[in-house]
Amino acid sequence: MPYDPTIPAPTDLLSDSQSDIQQNFNLANEFFGTDHVNFVAASNNGKHNHSTYPEQGADANTLDNENAIYAKEVGGVGGNTRLFLRQETNGTIIQLTGRDPILATDGLTFLPGGILLQWGRTGAVGNGAVVMYPQAFSTAFNVQITTISGPVNSEYSTQGNPGNVSFIVSKNGAGANVAIQWVAIGLA
């Protein structure tokens, strides 16, 4: 029997509708138990075990004094559902999740708001070496370089502004080429 909001009817005797009322309570307990600590649990009542967000076809609407967290597909590609935050009064929409992180020597992670943080290492590089990012930025902001091996008698930096798919190493000095590690930040 599905949940019946008409139970008990005004004319019902408790003895006549007791089993229907119990069934409604069992169904309500099952519904409350989805994503939540079970309704009859001894502690943590009303708290979430986790949150599940069905994919929405459009951005959520919000009123004064409320925010909305929701899931929406991005890029028109199935299976690319991400979490978003809509600020009050249909305010700013902030993407909270992005592509899956790559946790490796050359890797990346998505930060809320559409920021992409990438990093990597190279072998010994000299002036003019081109270093590719794991993923292209829509706009690259900055790259920081640190040397990681060998005696350093040279300074390493980027040549000009970083590109969206790579950056060029600038080596100032006559020292031997050495390995570098780098961190880049930009828009996803």
pLDDT score for 44: 84
| pTM to 2 decimal places | 0.75
Whether omega before 112 lies within 30 degrees of 0, making that bond cis, reads no
CA distance 59 to 48: 24
Write out the H or E segment, with its range, that includes residue 178: strand 178-187
All structural domains of the chain, each given as residue ranges with its CATH number in brackets, are: 1-51 (no CATH), 55-95 (no CATH), 107-187 (2.60.40.3940)
Per-residue pLDDT of the chain (188 residues; tens, 9 = 90+): 788 888 888 888 888 889 999 998 888 888 877 888 876 777 887 788 889 999 999 999 999 999 999 999 987 666 789 999 999 999 999 999 998 899 999 999 999 999 999 999 999 898 999 999 999 999 999 999 998 876 666 788 898 899 999 999 998 888 888 899 999 999 99
